[in-house]
C-alpha cells in the first residue's frame, strides 16, 4: 500500500499446492481450544474514532497526507464511522471524489503498533461495486492488508507487506474491473517501479459480505475468501529467489482510496466499505471455518474486543470489553 503504482497483471501466477490445501484443511480439532490463545479479536463496537475504547484498543484513523492514491488527496478521521448494520456495529470507511485532488477524501483504519507476523489473519468485509451516491466508474480500491516499516533502500530484504485483498470494482492499473488481488511482497524499487512479489487475482464481483482469511506459516502465505483457496505464495514471481512471507512485524490496515481520477464521470461520487470484525491468531494456522466459529462464539458471549497476543495463554486477556 505504500506504492504509487504497480505492474499490470493478467494471470494467476502461483498454483495451488498440497501444502496450502493442508493449511486450509486444518481441522477444528487442531484449532480447538487455541483459537482465542495468543489472539486478537475486535468487532468494532465503537462510537467514533475519538472513542477512548477505539484508541485504547490500539486503533487509529489516518489523517496524515501521502500515498497511496491520488496525489494531494486528503485522509480524514471523519471518514471512519460505526453504524449498525443487520443488528451489529461495523466500521464503515467512506471515500469520495469530485474528480480532482483537492476534492478527493479517502479513509484508513489501522493498528498503531506492529504486532503481527506469522499466524492467521481474518476479517469479514462488505465490498461494494457501486457508489452510495453519484456516478459510478471511479478507480476505487477497497482493501485489507498488513505492512511493516518503510523500506530502508530498494529491494530491502526485511520489507514486509501482505495485501490480503485489494478489490477494484471498476478496475485500475490498466485492468478492467471487477478484479481482486492478493499480493505478497519481499521488496521493490519505486522508480522505475519493479517489485519482488507474488500475486493471485480473480476477475469477478465481490459485491457483498465476504470472509477473507490469510495464513502465514513455514514460509508460505495462503489466501482464501469464503473458505475457497486463492493462492499459496512462497517466493517472488519475477525471479523465484526472494521469499515473500513477512520478515518483520506489521500493522493491520483497512483503507478505501482512489488509484486515480481517470474513471470519474462528473459531480461527486461516494463509496463505502464495511468491516464487521477482525481476528488474528499469532503463530497458529486456523481453518477458515474455525475462524468464523470463533468470531461467532465471541460475539455470542458478548465479547467485543479480546487481546491475548502478549499473554501466551487463554487465561488472561489484556483488554476484553463486553456489551
- Write a three-state SS string for 21-66: HHHHCCCHHHHCCCCCCCEEEECCCCCCCCCHHHHHCCEEECCCCC
Residues 6+ apart with CB under 8 A from 35: 281, 284, 286, 290, 291, 293, 294
Q: What is the pLDDT of residues 123-148, one digit of tens each?
A: 999 999 999 999 999 999 999 999 99
Integer Cα distance of 218 and 68 in angstroms = 30
Q: How far is residue 77's CA from residue 84's CA, in Å, rounded to a whole number? A: 18
**185-236 pLDDT per residue, tens:** 999 999 999 999 999 999 999 999 999 999 999 999 999 999 999 999 999 9
Question: pTM here?
Answer: 0.89
Number of helices (H), then strands (E), belonging to the chain: the values are 4, 20
In angstroms, the CA 140 to CA 122 distance is 22
Average pLDDT over residues 300-316: 81
CA 286 to CA 293: how far, in whole Å? 11
Domain edges within the chain:
18-29+58-284
Q: Into which CATH architecture does domain 18-29+58-284 fall?
A: Sandwich (2.60)
Amino acid at each position: 500500500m505504500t506504492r504509487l503504482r504497480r505492474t499490470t497483471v493478467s494471470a494467476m501466477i502461483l498454483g495451488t499446492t498440497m501444502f496450502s490445501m493442508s493449511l486450509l484443511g486444518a481441522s477444528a480439532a487442531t484449532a480447538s481450544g487455541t483459537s482465542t490463545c495468543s489472539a486478537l479479536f475486535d468487532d468494532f463496537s465503537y462510537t467514533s474514532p475519538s472513542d477512548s475504547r477505539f484508541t485504547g484498543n490500539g486503533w487509529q484513523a489516518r489523517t496524515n497526507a501521502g500515498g497511496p492514491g491520488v496525489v494531494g488527496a486528503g485522509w480524514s478521521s471523519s471518514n471512519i464511522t460505526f453504524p449498525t448494520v443487520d443488528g451489529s456495529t461495523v466500521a464503515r470507511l467512506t471515500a469520495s471524489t469530485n474528480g480532482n485532488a483537492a476534492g478527493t477524501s479517502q479513509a484508513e483504519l489501522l493498528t498503531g503498533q506492529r504486532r503481527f507476523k506469522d499466524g492467521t489473519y481474518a476479517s469479514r468485509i462488505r465490498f461494494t461495486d457501486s457508489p452510495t451516491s453519484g456516478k459510478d466508474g471511479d478507480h476505487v480500491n477497497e482493501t485489507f492488508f498488513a505492512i511493516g516499516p518503510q523500506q530502508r533502500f530498494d529491494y530491502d530484504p526485511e520489507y514486509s507487506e501482505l495485501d490480503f485483498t485489494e478489490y477494484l470494482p471498476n478496475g485500475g492499473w490498466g485492468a478492467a474491473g471487477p478484479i481482486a488481488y492478493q499480493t505478497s511482497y519481499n521488496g521493490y524499487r519505486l522508480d522505475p517501479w519493479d517489485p519482488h512479489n507474488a500475486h493471485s487475482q480473480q476477475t469477478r464481483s465481490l459485491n457483498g459480505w465476504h470472509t477473507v482469511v490469510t495464513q502465514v506459516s513455514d514460509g508460505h502465505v495462503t489466501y482464501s475468501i469464503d473458505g475457497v483457496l486463492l493462492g499459496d505464495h512462497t517466493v517472488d514471481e519475477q525471479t523465484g529467489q526472494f521469499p515473500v512471507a513477512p520478515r518483520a512485524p506489521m500493522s493491520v490496515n483497512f483503507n478505501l482510496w482512489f488509484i486515480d481520477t481517470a474513471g470519474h464521470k462528473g459531480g461527486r461520487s461516494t463509496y463505502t466499505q464495511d468491516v464487521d470484525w477482525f481476528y488474528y491468531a499469532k503463530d497458529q494456522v486456523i481453518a477458515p471455518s474455525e475462524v468464523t466459529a470463533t468470531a461467532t462464539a465471541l460475539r455470542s458471549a458478548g465479547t467485543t474486543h479480546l487481546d491475548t497476543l502478549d499473554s501466551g495463554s487463554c487465561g488472561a486477556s489484556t483488554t476484553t470489553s463486553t456489551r
